[in-house]
Structure 1
Amino acid sequence: MVQQPGNSGPANGGVEQPGNSNPSRGLVRQPDGTNDEIDLLLMCSDNRSEKAANLKRAFAENLPVGLYIDSKLCTSSQSELKAIIEKKTFTLDDAKRLCPSVLPAVGKWAHVAIAIDDVVYKSVGGVITVLYARNEDEKPANEAADALCDKRSSPLVVHVASDILNPLPIALSSIEDGVLFDLLGLKNNHEPVKISWFTNDEYRMLALPDARGEVHSIDQLFGNATIGPDGLFADNGYAALAKYDGKSADGMFQLAEPDGRIDRDDPIYSKLRLWADKNRDGIGQRSELINLRRAKIAFIDLEYSNDYSEMDKHGNITMMKSVVGYLDGSLDLIFDLWFAFEFGGGK
């Protein structure tokens, strides 16, 4: 349940643009029913433009967050956001009706707690992030603040194993025992962040190495913070890779109709690599990269399913599953891995 006292917010529907010095005061209902006051600083868009962060500052006194909101909440306009707030209570079905892009619940109903420093809701038995207000304003904004709201960012990951029928589960370290990596690219001025890291090489990131044949940042991978050949970010790793479907190797010229897959007919195919960071230094050396032909991968299917999502104990989310096809006709998994991360600790 979300609730707002009648006249505590500004006249624009309880939302202010970034830069206002007055943070909102929120209230979080803990699983045991007790209440702790917290600072709820930001409401973030689930549909940020490729040109801007599109943040809005929440400005609601005593914003209670109930235990049964376990999906991102969004709305297609500020007026609808205002309607939700003034309604004082609403259900998940109301949110879905007002905002078709609301994400489905993950796992069991979430018992909600909040981490003030992260501006991210944490959950037990489910997934919940910050409250989202759709904002289609494309004015420039602080993209580092954009990353603050997300607190997760993705690259595409491919499962590579000799025993496809009995794969090892993906195993990631804690963030504390992970690596520093430039996961956010230009969204964070190429400052590295601390993320969990792979503890076996059965899962490898899909890479497009730089001119030196190496991987140093998300711009050599495929994720939501990858700058594509069009100079824009993508919504996810598949969208970043799809910018090369039917195009020249540099992604600048359309050579054929996109067919929803990357295969040997696409010039980018020969340039793609799979990366396993064997020395755990957060840098993809040539010796750690193999091409798709050597990996015996014939194609990558760009059509993914949103029906599956799983969060590990470190806050990393595996979602948007699709398949890669091998030369022998067998299939294996590819997915977007949304790493949780921590700022600070530059190289």
Structure 2
Amino acid sequence: MHLLPFTFLFFSSYSLVRAGSANVGDACSQGQNRLQAGTYQFWSECNSQSYCGPDGKCVKKGCRRDDFPFGYQPGDHLPPKCPKGQFCPDEEDQCQTVLPVDSDCQLNRDDQCEGPPNWKDLADISGRGINVNGSVCLNNKCMWANRTLGVDCLVENTPYIAYGTDGEFVDIVSRGNCALGLYCDAAQKVCMAEKNLGEACTADKECQSWNCLASGVCGVSEAVPRHFAIWVYVVVALGIFGGMFGTLFALFWTHRKQRDEEREKRLQYWREQNAFHQNLLQMRETARASILSLPGNGNSARSTMYSRDGAYTDDAQAPILANAAPKASGLRHYMADDGSSEFDDGLMMQPPRQPHDNRF
């Protein structure tokens, strides 16, 4: 295992590269092993499935820290995880036995340190990463997180590059070797009790909620779920149902307007067809009057067909509609005609048939 010294640095940018590109068997240099600026992630010239061995060549990794390590494809052989009492270093070369107090350790690798005898009382179970089994790795040294109130302590501040809505900023993570419920004050270097809600603070570690607000007081933990008043749910429900009914009403109004427009078009079409039909009837009346006014047609058989005394039928009064049957409709009309047709005119103009003589 090659331990890397920690240097307090401030960087304005960093690389997201996780590993190099050299494959197994390719040449590499252990001098290039480093922690990436801003993220402090381990990097070497070898790819994510290998590490740089002591002979200057990339070798397949002998252990892993994660259940689903980066850089492996489905079906690839995964190196084993280390059993209890051992750890897998950043290089992931092979499992090693946990280290005693004052041993060198890698940055934020509390799991590399051996726990104290009363580790159950000191272990952090909150998931905040305060320690691992009561052990911490501060300034690359293994120690126990057992310092009590008012006792001298050690602190380690690590600046990470983070990004927010306003752009890039520095997020400083401060850790110490005080027991649970205490924090190591960076100025006085003594363990102090964590503060309650509303008390003045300068860092998240000072608050029990681990949330120091921008106003400089301890706020509610960001992990606590937020609850809203009943009126908020009522307003949201009314908004949802109002939107639904508003959409339905808008659709109904739009379709009704379209139906009215189509009905007006059909009515206009019927009026035009009816006017055309009336023009045809007037033309036929004019032609009939012209024929009756000719000399010698006063007593002809044809005159009976055009007689104004004849009965009128209702056929000529019907509008010209294809396959139309009498229906109750708003499109009513009132027209009059004598009901004669050109086919009837042709029959009436023929001379009457004479009876046949049946005598031999």
Structure with higher RCO (Cα < 8 A, 6+ apart): 1
| TM-score (norm. length: structure 1) | 0.20
The structure with the greater share of residues assigned to helix is 2
| TM-score (norm. length: structure 2) | 0.20
